Structure 1
Amino acid sequence: MEHDLVVFVPGFLGTRLRRDGQDLWARCSEQLIGSAAAALTEVALPPGLGDAPPEGPFRLDADALLQVPDSVPGLLSCMGYRDIRGALGDPRDAQFVPFGYDWRLSHRLVARQLKARVARELDRWHAEVDAYYPDRTDDPRVILVCHATGGLIGRHYLECENGRETARTLVTLGTPQQGLVQAARMLAGHAIPGDAGPGADVAARLNEALRDWALNLPAVVEMLPSYPAVRVEGKSRERRITDNRYPVPGLPGDAVREGLAFQEEFRLACDEHRRVGPLPYTVHCLGSVDFPSPEALVLSSDGSRITDSLPGTGDGTVPHRSAIADWTGTAPMLWTGFRNSDLSSSPALRDAMIAIRAGRPPGGTLAGEEGIALHLPRDPVAAGRPFVIELLGHDLPRRNLRTFMWRSGRPDKQPVIFRQYGPDRYRAELEATPGRWVVEALVDRPKGRDRRDVTVVAV
């Protein structure tokens, strides 16, 4: 409703991590791109932390939402939240709460932190709301909007931390309700395929550094897929990562047990509440099936090696089969034409939030039928070596196509020249210096936009 408190929970990477005023993650990720072997040491966590908060040198300040594109190679990207308030339907300053948190930590711990923050902010808003909405007919509650893995935090808060007593609505944006196969690849030491552009030596270095780091990050462990996400060459049956006959090589059993215990705890809470009655809040899930998304690991016929990943339909990050919130029983999906990393800034979200805050169910076709899509390498590419990007869309030259690329966090943009090689298909060949680069394509009549990021590493 219009007078409710709007709380936004970003996803993994979506909050700046700082120490002594310096953006520590930004510095460490740049060092990783530059081939520094110990790049992630300053943002590591101690082994066995579990649901406890870090102390001493492991503690970092999570002070503000991310504003520029960032990524963890082989896992997730985030384009930042430059105008999140506008995308949420422009709630008043006093009723908008951006919830920043340390995205390395257990979703259970962060859900408890969210509970404390919501309690404080809702008490404050109860004392102030009459000045803004004197004609309201009921007390304000919470509209919880969660991007990507932030939805795992939001739903855990609602069902396991008594948040359902405060919520009117949960909105998830590209949340991996049943986990990500990318988390399994990273924890098994295969985030970057060995035959990727940078070469086997660079891939091996990145994989070792990322695995050592991620194994001690509860958030990554809790992203492990709970759906059947393993295929074995020559076998027809899909398998779960708990399959004892074909365990995923390199994936520690302790991590599997911890990750699935987190999912099971949530499921048990949902089952218990369902016996009492229906959900006391509404759920709206925004997603997409317009972009190829990692769906399954492929193992060799004897199960000894990870040989490939299989794509499925999805939002570019979360496959269709993991995006559906089956735990709600009834919540429909709201399909859009936006990638996971762009859902939080899309007109589709604004359309949905305007309807939700007016007390109407969002429905019909949400904004986003853009008919334009960029395809960039998912894996890091090597500095100084050409890589190909593709653009798909109908009649783009007549729609005033503009394409640019720039280094993340820097203002200077340079044009990208695409050449047509087939009906509605365009290709460009690029080279770039080490760093995180963003490519953007814009068209008119009707207006459309797509953005992708690519990591370029030193070799």
Structure 2
Amino acid sequence: MEHDLVVFVPGFLGTRLRRDGRDVWGEGGEALLGPGTSAPALAGLALPAGLGDALPEERFRLAADELLTVPDSMPGFLSCMGYPDLRAALGDPVEGQYVPFPYDWRLSHRLVAGLLRTRVQRALARWCEQVDRYYPDRPDDPKVLLVCHSTGGLVGRYYLECLGGRETARELVTLGTPQRGLAQAVRLLTGHAVGDDEAPGGAAGPLNEALRDLALTLPSVAQLLPVYEAVRVEGKSRARTVDDRRYPVPDLPTALVEDALSLDRHFQEAREAHRHTDTDGRLPYQVHVVGSRAFPTVRTVQLSSDGSQLVTRRDEGLLAPGDGTVPGDSAFADWALQDETAMRWIECRHADMASAAAVGETLAAVRKGDPPGGMLAGDEQISLFAPDTALAGEPFKVSVVGTGLRERNVRAEMWRVGRQGKQPVVFTATGPDLFRAELEAGPGKWVVQAMADGPSRADRRVVILFAR
């Protein structure tokens, strides 16, 4: 409802992490891409081993008080295009009604959910004191509209079902949330975030080692391990879970697997307990789930036939429809919705989910109390395909796919994150619905964006280029 408090919970990478005013991840991520890649580039981000759900000591803490506003990415794992216009997408709530919740995305989702509870309680109390000034004719007292992007949805749902948030919530919106985890978390935690075929000459080795060393210290990453059957073994017909005793994933610590499964189990048990006391088993708040099935997405990982090693080569058989990061069936919230027809499917990548026009329409409808549309995708959408990572100074291929592209004035540009100036990209038509280009640039995080007219559509990707 329009008079409710609006709280936004960003996802992984969605908050700037600073120490003494310096952007620790931004600087560390840039250093990671240069020559001589090594773990020290990310030393300032690592947490002490065995931290679990606790707050770290002061020397490990980082200031997390500002949402990300420009694109960023962790190689081979998650990207975020930032949230520069989120308040506008929410219909520009009045002063005091919109509460962004920046947080340290390294920490346990359980811990962050507790911090969210404290923030919401304080903000809602303040909003109740001033709501009469803006909504004197409101039908009831304000509650909370919780909007969560990506992993922020895991924080939000835990707060609602396990920490009492359901008592004051009116609606929850999740945008590309990995409700059942990510297969990519397996690759990151075992040192295979960037595949060998994405980095010719084995140049990904030091990068993968540095990323794994960091990820093993971050509770939030372990809690993204998939709880669905995400492991395949060569020569075996059925998929398995990451805790399968016969075929455990090599180099994946058992304690991390147990933490991910226990987080999901605790949430599911709380939901089931409430189901028995809720009227007709229905949640006391509405849940709106937005996801995508427009892009090939890693859904499973593969082990060798004897289970001794993770197969690092990319295989189309391991892909499924999704948003490029979260498989469609993992974005589906089976704890809240009857079936996937209740989802809001859009043609949008994971990193862009919070800023997509279709999502803005959904949020506007939710705030007005109107039913949002079920299928928000359109046949006119264009899709940009580019590698997540590539070697700096060497060509990499990108392509744009869409209906009737020859007549739609296809154009593109690229720019380095954090730098001024954009470079035009020249595409060549190789078919009525396909354009291709070959690009090259120096080390760093680059955004490639394609656009087309008739009607106006756009798609963009973060491509990370690292030195050999």
Q: Identity over the aligned pairs, expressed in percent?
A: 58
Shift of the alpha carbon at 1:363? 1.7
Task: Provide the residue aligned with 1:73 in structure 2.
Answer: 75
Shift of the alpha carbon at 1:368? 5.5
Task: Provide the residue aligned with 2:354 in structure 1.
Answer: 344
Letter in 1 for 2:419: R
Q: 1:100 to 1:62 in 2, by over 3 A?
A: same
Task: Provide the residue aligned with 1:303 in structure 2.
Answer: 307
Per-residue CA shift, 1:2-33, capped at 9, x if unaligned?
00011000000000000111111100000111
Shift of the alpha carbon at 1:366? 2.5
CA distance in 2, matches of 1:361, 1:433: 47
CA distance in 2, matches of 1:93, 1:362: 25
Given that 1:351 and 1:367 are in contact with CA atoms closer than 8 Å, whether structure 2 keeps it comes out as no
Task: Provide the residue aligned with 2:267 in structure 1.
Answer: 266
1:411-426 mapped onto 2 (5 Å cutoff)? 411-426=420-435
Per-residue CA shift, 1:95-128, capped at 9, x if unaligned?
1001000000000000000000000000000001
Given that 2:379 and 2:403 are in contact with CA atoms closer than 8 Å, whether structure 1 keeps it comes out as no
Task: Provide the residue aligned with 2:34 in structure 1.
Answer: 34
Match of 1:443 among 445, 452, 463: 452
CA distance in 2, matches of 1:172, 1:120: 23
Q: 1:108 to 1:304 in 2, by over 3 A?
A: same
Match of 1:355 among 365, 369, 390: 365
Per-residue CA shift, 1:173-196, capped at 9, x if unaligned?
000000000111111111111232
1:269-418 mapped onto 2 (5 Å cutoff)? 269-277=270-278, 278-307=282-311, 308=313, 310-330=318-338, 332-366=342-376, 369-378=379-388, 380-418=389-427
Q: 1:368 to 1:150 in 2, by over 3 A?
A: farther
Given that 1:370 and 1:449 are in contact with CA atoms closer than 8 Å, whether structure 2 keeps it comes out as no
Q: Any stretches of 5+ residues in structure 1 without a counterpart?
A: none
* Range with greater deviation from structure 2 (165-174 or 398-407): 398-407
Q: 1:368 to 1:12 in 2, by over 3 A?
A: farther
Shift of the alpha carbon at 1:365? 3.6
Q: Any stretches of 5+ residues in structure 2 without a counterpart?
A: none
Shift of the alpha carbon at 1:396? 2.2
Letter in 1 for 2:160: L
Shift of the alpha carbon at 1:199? 2.7
Per-residue CA shift, 1:391-410, capped at 9, x if unaligned?
11122242222210000122
Task: Provide the residue aligned with 1:110 in structure 2.
Answer: 112
Shift of the alpha carbon at 1:442? 1.2
Q: 1:402 to 1:95 in 2, by over 3 A?
A: same
Given that 1:338 and 1:368 are in contact with CA atoms closer than 8 Å, whether structure 2 keeps it comes out as no
Match of 1:49 among 37, 48, 51: 51
CA distance in 1, matches of 2:136, 2:201: 64
Task: Provide the residue aligned with 2:12 in structure 1.
Answer: 12
Task: Provide the residue aligned with 1:251 in structure 2.
Answer: 252
Match of 1:452 among 455, 458, 461: 461
Match of 2:440 among 425, 431, 448: 431
CA distance in 2, matches of 1:195, 1:359: 48
CA distance in 2, matches of 1:364, 1:73: 33
Q: Name the SS for the 1:361 alignment partner.
A: coil
Given that 2:10 and 2:149 are in contact with CA atoms closer than 8 Å, whether structure 1 keeps it comes out as yes
Per-residue CA shift, 1:66-95, capped at 9, x if unaligned?
011111111100000010111222222321
Alignment: residue pair count: 457
Asked if residue 230 in structure 1 is aligned to residue 231 in structure 2, the reply is: yes
Given that 1:336 and 1:366 are in contact with CA atoms closer than 8 Å, whether structure 2 keeps it comes out as yes
CA distance in 2, matches of 1:137, 1:31: 54
CA distance in 2, matches of 1:114, 1:368: 35
Shift of the alpha carbon at 1:458? 1.0
Q: Name the SS for the 2:308 alignment partner.
A: coil
Letter in 2 for 1:306: L
Given that 1:296 and 1:311 are in contact with CA atoms closer than 8 Å, whether structure 2 keeps it comes out as yes
Letter in 2 for 1:247: P
Given that 1:334 and 1:366 are in contact with CA atoms closer than 8 Å, whether structure 2 keeps it comes out as yes
Q: Name the SS for the 1:40 alignment partner.
A: helix
* Range with greater deviation from structure 2 (62-71 or 49-58): 49-58
Per-residue CA shift, 1:413-437, capped at 9, x if unaligned?
0110111223411111111100000
Per-residue CA shift, 1:140-190, capped at 9, x if unaligned?
000000000000000000001100011000000000000000111111111
Shift of the alpha carbon at 1:447? 1.1
Given that 2:406 and 2:433 are in contact with CA atoms closer than 8 Å, whether structure 1 keeps it comes out as no
CA distance in 1, matches of 2:343, 2:230: 21
Task: Provide the residue aligned with 1:182 in structure 2.
Answer: 184
* Range with greater deviation from structure 2 (206-215 or 394-403): 394-403
* Aligned Cα root-mean-square deviation (Å): 1.3
CA distance in 1, matches of 2:322, 2:198: 23
CA distance in 2, matches of 1:19, 1:39: 15
CA distance in 1, matches of 2:265, 2:76: 26
Task: Provide the residue aligned with 1:93 in structure 2.
Answer: 95
Per-residue CA shift, 1:37-90, capped at 9, x if unaligned?
111101110001111111222100001000111111111000000101112222
TM-score (norm. length: structure 1): 0.97
Given that 2:405 and 2:434 are in contact with CA atoms closer than 8 Å, whether structure 1 keeps it comes out as no
Letter in 1 for 2:221: V
Q: Name the SS for the 1:280 alignment partner.
A: coil
CA distance in 2, matches of 1:262, 1:223: 10
Given that 1:346 and 1:368 are in contact with CA atoms closer than 8 Å, whether structure 2 keeps it comes out as no
Given that 2:411 and 2:427 are in contact with CA atoms closer than 8 Å, whether structure 1 keeps it comes out as no
CA distance in 2, matches of 1:394, 1:138: 47
* Range with greater deviation from structure 2 (185-194 or 323-332): 323-332
Letter in 1 for 2:30: E
CA distance in 2, matches of 1:83, 1:276: 40
Per-residue CA shift, 1:268-309, capped at 9, x if unaligned?
111111111121000000011000111000111111121145
Q: Name the SS for the 2:146 alignment partner.
A: strand
